[in-house]
A and B are shown apart, each in its own frame.
Chain A
Amino acid sequence: MKSERFSARRPRPTCSDVAPVQLEGNHLRLGVSQMGGSPTGTDLSGNGALQTRRIPLYSGALHYWRIDPSLWKQALTSLKQLGLPMVETYVPWGVHEVTEGHVDFGERDPRLDLGRFVDMAAELGLWVFARPGPHINAELTYFGLPKHVIYNRAYQARSPKGNPVIQPYPPQMFPIPSYASRAFAAATQSWYRAVADVLRARMYPEGPVVLLQVDNEASYYFRTGEYDQDYHKDALADYRQFLRKRYRSLDRYNQEYHTSHQTWREVTPPLSFDVQAFDVQAFDGQALGPRRKGVEPMGAGPSAGPIGGQASAPGSHLELRRAMEWAEFREVLITDSVDRFRGSLEAVGLGGVPTVHNIPLGETGQPVNLSALQDAVPLVGLDYYHRARDFETVRWRTLFLTGSTPIPYAPEMGVGAPSWFPPLDHQDSLFSFLTACAHGLRGFNLYMAVDRDRWYGAPVDDRGQPRAEARSWKSVIHALDRVDHASLHRKVEVAIQVPHEYRRLTRLTHLLGGIVTPSVFEALGGSPALACREDTLDLGRAVQLEWHAWVVEVVQALEAEQIPYVLVDSDARMERYEGIRLLFSPTFQYANRRRWKGLEQLAGTGMHLATGPEVPQMNDRFQPEVFPVGSSVEGTSWVCQVDGIAVGELVRSQLDTLGLRPEVWVQPSSEDHSGEEPGREEPIRSKDSEEGVQETGPVWQRGLSPAGDVRATLHGDASGPRALYVMNTVEDARRCTVHIPRCTRVTDLLLGDHFEDVRALPLQVPGHTCRVFALEAAVHDSPAKENRDKVERTDGDPAMGAHGVQHSSTRLPNIQRPSIQRPSARRSSRRPS
């Protein structure tokens, strides 16, 4: 498949061939090291040999400046003992440069000695992932930015009325910087230069720094309302440039918008979503500037009329088009800013290692383009802070991540939470983590691995001592290592597109603005469309609401059939569709032309397409256009759902047509055993050699095998299935039988029990827990009876954690405890067989 995106913007940056560190197959590939020495003389490459090695993208966060330097060694050691090869730390601008122009990297305050900290990590055999901001949050006052930067008016983002934009986070509300401000970008480069003075000599291969993050959660500092910001003068200049690039000339812009601007400076962005401007008012040919909505007292009757308005012809959707362009521009602004920051890092000598960026919770409702960001920064991931009961949200997000990025990565996998978040406990963190892994997350940064102020719940306390929870994390990370989780993949043949042109409309029609944004609803487990207006906007339907509902219906139908699927960003590169046989894509009265061309291209490759509920009549500039679909695209299998056909029916018919069925499926127990003590679990064997054992499990049948509350996912490599994750999505224990491909040996990696020659596993899964099994080719050298006599324990044992995780080393007969060793030594054991 061609390497192109539905919506290509810029050449995709890759780590150059000569770069010492590259991303490869969910790992970091460390290139040939000259001597492999760290700054402190530690040989990081393993005996100084010239070699290439891979390390998984597993790390844990530790904030050096928040811990007394005398405790660094203990904390790093504890972090490493969790089984993590890499330590991650922010480098906080606001902490290092309290006074403008005076940057302290340990000269005055030993806690700020970043160089010493990095060297110590190297001495202990840890790689380093540094995140120098400028924005870091980290629950720091002003999100880690210096006070003198925050209060510099030239840097501040602007509201529609030209006011600063306030971020209300504790412990102090503050005006946020503008992503467009060139002055802020220049100040950031100065900060990067100071960081580079410390880190440049410590970058791989000379030192242990192998990963760098550019900025943090670039999403307008959570003030993501479409009309909340950014009306900074540099942003307005960028907006005009964006339009200039799109329309090429002002004449064409005037022609298309029925305006008469003399210069580009007269072109202004919309300040609010004014539905009346395009569906009520008559076009008078005057450019009056955008209309502001009144906020008169309730009961005061109709608003006195527009304060100003760029009026347009009824039904022409010009105002809607202008709004959509503004929404798209705001995505571009973020991407360009991140790209600018990355360029600054390279400019100061911090290139040569892959760069990372993270997107916070609620990504569907954010003015951020995940696919476009990957053109600026190669490793873009999602942050996770979820309660155990948010299973569906974690699943959705991870399937979106796995469907839309080459390396599904979580730059912040929440372990514990900030003091001012809704409370999260150990089970929340662990279950969310395993749920994400079960759905394809391949790399993660445990945030936080080591506790600190304004945070609670890390596995290592702020004195570097492991807490009881550290054992669970150690067991889980070791289990991932045993199956080489980072190298595995899920066989997925079904995808659902998440179109940008509809997401933008959802954001634009959000009614609560300000701080309660679509992302907030999404982060809380709701739909980003929850607070959208219900108007049809002359589009026949309330597309802003219906597209999401359509996708949810497809998801529910696939879940009911236990068919694996992914969600794909509509701007994702074509490689993301490799292996996909069936693609669902919501289509309404308008659609993005490039997306449609991509669909046509995919249909041409033989992929089955199912779109609906409408055939588009307009492009996303709301101009009439013919969109070939279904039988009109010769030689393709393209079904367009028409009204009257339920989405579930559409899904089932397509699955039938392709003969798709689950590779692994769960049969819930018909009896309620939730109150019982865990008992013996007898596997269903694939052979008929033992008395009383079924020859084969029941056959999966559509409609007769409802998924219930337990979900299972299968992961494998070229040799076949390697790992099985079984999750109980509800609070109470559930019994079920998990049917897996035959001829396997199954080992519970957290409890240690194993079975041979099974194809169906009867299990009890405690509430909100995930069990992890290794699957291997069948081994016939041990008596089957002995294996059958094994008793699996799932709960009720005080030694077990909430996830059935071993709390005593004596209970892990089949698991080698991870030893404390250098990254190079441990890497060899992780390398795929």
Chain B
Amino acid sequence: MISPDIRIEGFDAQSWGRLLSLFSTAPADLETSAEQALLPNRPEGTLVVIVDDQDRTLRALHTGRGALTGVRYGGSESLPLLARDHGVKRCVVIREGVPEEIAERLAVRLQPGDDYASQWLSCVRILREVQSAGMMRVWPRPLASVPIPAMTTLQRALDMLLPDDHCWVLALWSGTHLWTTFVVHRHRGQIATVVGPDRIRQWTGPLGGDFRRDYRHIVRAVSTHLAPVHFGAFTDVGVLDHLLHTSHAGTWAKHVAARDIIVHPTPPYAMVVLGADAVGGAARRAAKWAGGLDMLKLLRPVVRELRSQVTSVSSVTEILGFNPIQIWSQWRQGRDAQDG
């Protein structure tokens, strides 16, 4: 899935930092100490408690404040209280010797030829094992309800998202400036190249500064230098940020319709997602107007019909068992799943 020879190129420090900020809880450019200061009591960091085999605390640390004294672990039920008392977002209790145990199990399971995604799936499985065995407690348990997909499942999802020898493009502008890009090229079945804006500019030459026009140049350049584009999203970073921070149905479809975000090309799964989002949005509005009538239920045949128009495609959510966009959005908003 991920090529051992993967190339990541065409980024400078700024554009790389911006790309990473898309996966942080707030955009790097917007996060200031002044904004942080407005939220003085917000839970911050993680409390790590290392205990012995009788659950006695050997050491407790806060990821931001360092070592803590007087932390007592009173069983898994006490974790929310512990987190509240110490003003942390997360709490991890780990038994002494467990990191070594994890390392040993990993060493036994990895096989030559496993790719990085597969190796990480092994890690995640081992982490769940040690949690299930009571060697480690985590509160809250992020993504606890998300099933660990099999490698073949991931492969199928990738096949749908990005067919071989095609590219996936996300290009973000800030005003008239190309803010960052994330171009992924799949080759011989594996993610082979990730390209940043420096390289894109080399390929396109000077851009006009309006993503509604520039996107064509980018699609053409990527197709020429890497491979045909299978999916492209082009928008302003502010719009994307707004979209990732809203959970209202229909928002994505509305912005696409208004060309606040250009989706081009639009593969079938994107049409399904956008179509479902539009239907959901319409249902929400209609429900409001219709005094609480469940319009979504009424519209379900429409969605089915829409999906039937898209041949041989099921949704990524159905394949994976979870909605990756939703996970991304939750992550960005710093909302851990509170389902324990």
Contact = CB atoms under 8 A, between A and B. Distances in A.
Contacts of A463: 202
Interface string B2-21: 11111111111111110010
B332 interface: no
Contact of B55 (A298, A425, A532): A298
A513 B9 contact: no
Contacts of B96: 293, 511, 533
A427 to B, nearest CB: 9
B152 interface: no
Interface string B91-131: 00111111111111011101010111001000100000010
B17 A425 contact: yes
A159 B134 contact: no
Contacts of A452: 9
A419 B99 contact: no
Interface in B60-99: 61, 66-67, 75-76, 93-99
A821 B87 CA distance: 59
Contact of A227 (B100, B112, B114, B115): B100
B13 A298 contact: no
Given A298-B93, A300-B53, A301-B54, A425 B2 contact: no
Interface string A506-532: 000001111110000000001100111
Given A294-B53, A453-B8, A532 B100 contact: no
A531 B16 contact: no
Q: Is the interface of B mostly helix, strand, loop or mixed?
A: mixed
Nearest to A271: B100
Given A293-B96, A426-B13, A731-B33, A531 B50 contact: yes
Contact of A456 (B16, B66, B110): B16
B59 interface: yes
Contacts of B8: 419, 453-454
Interface string A213-256: 00000000000010110000000000000000000000000000
B5 A141 contact: yes
Given A299-B75, A531-B59, A228 B12 contact: no
Given A163-B104, A298-B93, A461-B198, A512 B58 contact: no
Interface in A128-167: 141, 151, 159-161, 163-166
Nearest to B7: A453
A133 to B, nearest CB: 18
B135 to A, nearest CB: 5
B12 A467 contact: yes
Interface string B302-335: 0000000000000000000000000000000000
A463 B94 CA distance: 48
B186 interface: no
A299 B7 CA distance: 47
A225 B106 contact: no
A423 B24 CA distance: 12
A699 interface: no
Interface string A298-323: 11111100000000000000000000
A31 interface: no
B133 interface: yes
Interface of A, secondary structure class, is loop
Contacts of B281: none
Interface string A169-180: 011110100000
B16 A160 contact: no
A416 interface: yes
A718 interface: no
A170 B120 CA distance: 10
Interface residues of B, number: 62
Given A166-B103, A454-B8, A302 B116 contact: no
A717 B16 CA distance: 42
A272 interface: yes
A159 B104 contact: yes
Interface residues of A, number: 64
Contacts of A454: 6-9
B187 interface: no
A457 interface: yes
B134 A164 contact: no
A119 B188 CA distance: 37
Contacts of B166: none
A476 interface: no
A429 B12 CA distance: 13
Given A298-B134, A416-B13, A159 B202 contact: no
A457 B13 contact: yes
A716 B185 CA distance: 54
A165 B55 contact: no
B230 interface: no
A534 interface: yes
B61 A514 contact: no
B250 interface: no
B66 A530 contact: yes
A535 B100 CA distance: 20
Given A416-B13, A423-B17, A512 B50 contact: yes
Contacts of B6: 171, 454
A512 B66 CA distance: 15
A527 to B, nearest CB: 7
Interface in B218-258: none
A394 to B, nearest CB: 18
A295 interface: yes
Contacts of A160: 100, 104
Interface string B174-213: 0000000000000000000000101000100000000000
B50 A425 contact: no
A731 B37 CA distance: 15
Given A166-B110, A227-B100, A512-B94, 5 more contacts: A164-B107, A171-B5, A454-B9, A513-B99, A530-B67
Interface of A: 141, 151, 159-161, 163-166, 168, 170-173, 175, 225, 227-228, 272, 293-303, 416-417, 419, 423-426, 429, 451-454, 456-457, 461-463, 467, 469, 511-516, 526-527, 530-535, 731
12 contacts: A159-B100, A296-B53, A299-B75, A300-B53, A301-B54, A423-B13, A423-B20, A425-B14, A451-B12, A513-B100, A514-B100, A731-B33
Closest 6 CB pairs of A and B: A297-B134, A457-B13, A514-B99, A163-B107, A456-B11, A453-B9
